[in-house]
Structure 1
């Protein structure tokens, strides 16, 4: 179960979904959404992280747009999400996510380090947040903005874990290799998954790759446990 907390912004209050682990306290993970918002899939991943011992914040980054909903059954589902994300101001959304990270770090329930974990849109946003803020770790699933943000690579000083599918319809293997080559720091761990589509962790039949999803999640939990020292 989740509840809501609010992070003040210059033009209103950013609603943030919060999940607590069974003990009530622990390290923190800021989860940044796909283009489809804090969907049932994102909610499930947040619940999974809470079950693993983390305090989880998931900001509703579409809050200025009235929290639009996206119809998973519609043939234009992806186009709905793309259109929604294009209505967001990138720098403003980065500032919102960074403010949510600050709030997570300051939350009384957080007793350890904090990480950013983003999926697709959120994976790229998390990369930029890590460049302008100071999380203790970053996990990026097929961060869609990263190919255009590689000039920020030297500013991401925390350990980072990146997951990319090699069957990605949006980012072909040569683009994935370009990202891998640019992220050469010893702080970077980079994994690719043959045959996996973009958004392969999303259980929607259009995207899901069960083997890649399971392996990437196992690696994600191990990485977070190591970097955040969760019990």
Structure 2
């Protein structure tokens, strides 16, 4: 299998089987990353980022979190936003957290994974990744489901998860735009205060002029300079915390 190919597998979870796409690095093995989608589903953009990470040497698993809703993929243009928001409103959040945690555990068990396993999410997925880190913080909460590192791009659920921030003690990297219409700058600073401090290994980066979902290449969201800077920072941070 080439580095640009993915294999679809299933992860047993409560209520059925979670589909997930496995992307292997050129070497066939490496540290693991569970990549969590935006509200639009597992789009070509998300698959492209999975390929980017695989090319850096990571074994990447992309769970289809919308599988309970028909595994839909929605347009990332303006006309797709109402449908995507509708899917999010129908989503069972607790089930989604459990599914994502199960994906972490399943990836850790794969023979291709050599070393730690992190979780990385964009927008909806960034908040979901944070919730997984909080939910699995206790030893033995779920065998193998505790991620070793967290990367969250503008986690949209973080304003509602700050009460759990003290539980997220793993190394983490957060990216936020300072022109985000969904998460105002004052709230971004509140999130920063909650996730940093206390001796935690937290890196919090902000980008002037960048709005929500600035890494997404859709013209509705994309901020080229912020996207570039954040991805370089992500690669460097992963190289330190999930070394290949």
Pairing 1:203–2:217 present: yes
Between the aligned partners of 2:54 and 2:42, the Cα distance in structure 1 is 16
Partner of 1:59: 63
Deviation of 1:30 after TM superposition, in Å, equals 0.4
Between the aligned partners of 2:105 and 2:10, the Cα distance in structure 1 is 12
Between the aligned partners of 1:227 and 1:54, the Cα distance in structure 2 is 12
Between the aligned partners of 1:32 and 1:78, the Cα distance in structure 2 is 18
Partner of 1:154: 166
Deviation of 1:202 after TM superposition, in Å, equals 0.1
Between the aligned partners of 1:227 and 1:72, the Cα distance in structure 2 is 31
Which of the residues 73, 78, 84 maps onto 2:87?
84
Partner of 1:8: 12
Q: How does 1:1-231 map to 2 (within 5 A)?
A: 1-73=5-77, 75-133=78-136, 134-185=146-197, 186-230=200-244
Q: Which runs of 5+ in 1 are unaligned?
A: none
Deviation of 1:132 after TM superposition, in Å, equals 1.9
TM-score, with normalisation over the residues of structure 1?
A: 0.97
Between the aligned partners of 2:89 and 2:148, the Cα distance in structure 1 is 29
Between the aligned partners of 1:124 and 1:72, the Cα distance in structure 2 is 19
State the aligned residue count. 229
Between the aligned partners of 1:119 and 1:72, the Cα distance in structure 2 is 13
Between the aligned partners of 2:228 and 2:104, the Cα distance in structure 1 is 27
- What is the SS of the residue equivalent to 1:47? helix
Q: Compare 155-164 and 178-187 and name the one that shifted more.
A: 178-187
Contact 2:40–2:75 (8 Å) recurs in 1: no
TM-score, with normalisation over the residues of structure 2?
A: 0.92
Between the aligned partners of 1:41 and 1:218, the Cα distance in structure 2 is 17
Q: Which runs of 5+ in 2 are unaligned?
A: 137-145
